[in-house]
Amino acid sequence: MHIIAPLKTLNGGLWVSVTEGDLSLSPFVVGRNGFETSLTDAHWATLGDTLKRMHNLSVPSALDTNLNHETFGDDFRQQVRHFQQMAANTDFHEPISAKLANLLRNQRATIRHLIDRAEYLAVLLQAARPDFVLCHADIHAGNVLIDEDDALYVVDWDTVMLAPKERDLMFIGGGIGHEWAHQHGIDQFYEGYGSPDIDPIALAYYRYERIVEDIAAYCEQIWLSNQGDTDRAEGLRQLSGQFEDGDVIDIACQTDAHLPLQHRQPRP
């Protein structure tokens, strides 16, 4: 599999525990990520094969108990509701903060739609209890590296969890970071992955929920963090881009159109 294994410790372990948490060390790969270079047909097929192999792994019970399990919870939805209230009720004078507040006010109906759709679909999935597999859970273009020998590696494994396979498959064609939205790459990915029985409810849920999560993260960065203006302005630019034509919100709403008729909800 195209995964970089951590180096073993002096005691033969894969990590060491310190006061602040656990530390692991992985070999450094010289290369470019999927935002910096386009994947070839072979790369797409390799990525598909790699994810399929991971999704097919049997997880030992000892590891199962230490992994996060998908709950379809509403933490990010609640955070965004709170930030929307801040935007509505707070007079921001700092320029970047004020621009974020204006964005949330101007896009209030769309954001409400995103939250409502994620919430509705989450209830359906909680009742359906879909099968869980081992998921990377953040497999966007920035977490795929192409090294100097043209080999592909999947990196950044701090979000691994047990969830429906759509937790990973939502990124293929999802348009995160303005990438991976073209049918050509999607077709090549599934040449490597195979022809899965994709649950449209789970796929739509994860695309909506990811946008809600991003809104919460950018609001926290811009309003609540100590980051400098350069990083905060870049965060605002990235968040604003999600509302542009053809970006992730449009893609999520298009995914909604593939749901069973009784579960569809048009965008306002």
Q: What would the DSSP string read from start to end of 27-48? A: ----EEETTTSPPPHHHHHHHH
Q: Do the Cβ atoms of 242 and 180 come closer than 8 Å?
A: no
What the block records as the tokens of 96 is: 């970047």
Dihedral (C-alpha) 176, 180, 182, 183: value to the nearest 10 degrees?
-120
Burial class (CB in 10 A: 0-12, 13-18, 19+), 32: middle
Specify whether domain 24-263 bears CATH 1.10.510.10.
Answer: yes
* pLDDT by 10s per residue, the chain, length 268: 698 888 999 999 988 999 988 899 988 989 999 999 999 999 999 999 999 999 999 999 988 999 999 999 999 999 999 999 999 999 999 999 999 999 999 999 999 999 999 999 999 999 999 999 999 999 999 999 999 999 999 999 889 999 999 999 999 999 888 789 888 899 999 999 999 999 999 999 999 999 999 999 999 999 999 999 999 999 999 999 999 999 999 999 999 999 999 999 988 8
Q: At what angle do helices 75-89 and 108-128 cross, to 10 degrees?
A: 160
Distance, in Å, from the CA atom of 159 to the CA atom of 138, rounded to the nearest integer, reads 7
Residue 158 has φ and ψ, to the nearest 5°, of -85, -5
Distance CA 215, CA 76 (A): 9
Q: What is the DSSP letter of 7?
A: P
Measure the CA–CA gap between 229 and 74, rounded to whole angstroms.
Answer: 30
Strand order in the sheet with 144-147: 31-33, 144-147, 152-154
Dihedral class, residue 181 (left if φ above 0, else alpha if ψ from -120 to 50, else beta): alpha
Distance, in Å, from the CA atom of 244 to the CA atom of 113, rounded to the nearest integer, reads 16
Orientation angle between helical segments 41-55 and 183-193, nearest 10 degrees: 50
Q: Can you give the pLDDT at residue 241?
A: 96
The pLDDT score that the predictor gives to residue 4 is: 86
CB 83 within 8 A of CB 216: yes
**Helix axis angle, 229-241 to 95-106, nearest 10°:** 10
Virtual torsion, Cα 187, 188, 193, 198, nearest 10 deg: -20
pLDDT score for 1:
62
Q: In whole angstroms, what is the distance from residue 121 CA to residue 74 CA?
A: 11
Which of 204, 206, 198, 183 has its CA nearest to residue 253?
Answer: 204
